[in-house]
């Protein structure tokens, strides 16, 4: 029973570190956002202590995830960083194309509407998963 608890704590510790790095935060930066010390974040990531439920809730809010995501085994920094990086790129392109079109009438109104709908669908599917 104790081994399962240690394994669960290790998964949470690894995921805190992965989400922090994917969001390009230092331990100090994350600590200041959730009002704890950098040493506390270090202890969480090194699995020296388990995060409190309040700290998990606050970190989930910072990372814009559900608390349950900290308990998923298959989280990796590369996946998180790649997903976030791709999403930021898509957002940038949609905003750029929209602004360009508004300034120069590059796309028709219907084409712009389709581009904006792409963003809406992406957000919808992200909420479903």
Q: What is the pLDDT of residue 28?
A: 92
Buried b (16+ CB within 10 A) or exposed e, 43-67: bbbebeeebeeebbebbbebbebee
- The 8-class DSSP code of residue 52 comes to P
Please, are residues 31 and 37 in contact by the beta-carbon 8 Å criterion?
Answer: yes
Q: What is the pLDDT along the chain (129 residues), one digit of tens a residue?
A: 578 888 888 999 999 998 998 888 899 999 999 999 999 999 999 999 999 989 999 998 888 888 888 888 766 555 555 555 555 555 555 666 566 666 656 666 676 666 666 655 455 445 544
pLDDT of residue 6: 83
* pTM score, whole prediction: 0.58
Q: Quick one: pLDDT at residue 41?
A: 96
Closest to 109 measured CA to CA, from 119, 98, 120:
98
Note the pLDDT of residue 111: 67
Length of the chain: 129
pLDDT at 44: 96
Query: Structurally, what CATH architecture does the domain formed by 2-75 represent?
Result: Orthogonal Bundle (1.10)
**H-type helices in the chain, by residue range?**
2-22, 27-34, 38-45, 53-63, 77-104, 109-128
């Amino acid at each position: 029973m104790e081994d399962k608890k240690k394994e669960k704590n290790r998964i949470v510790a690894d995921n805190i570190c992965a989400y922090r790095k994917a969001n390009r935060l230092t331990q100090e930066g994350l600590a200041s956002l959730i009002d704890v010390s950098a040493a506390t974040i270090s202890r969480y990531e090194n699995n020296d202590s388990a995060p409190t439920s309040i700290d998990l809730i606050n970190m989930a809010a910072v990372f814009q995830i559900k608390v349950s995501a900290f308990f998923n085994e298959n989280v990796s920094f590369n996946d998180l960083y790649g997903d976030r990086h791709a999403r930021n790129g898509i957002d940038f392109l949609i905003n750029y194309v929209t602004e360009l079109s508004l300034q120069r009438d590059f796309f028709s109104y219907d084409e712009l509407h389709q581009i904006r709908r792409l963003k809406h669908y992406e957000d919808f599917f992200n909420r479903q998963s």
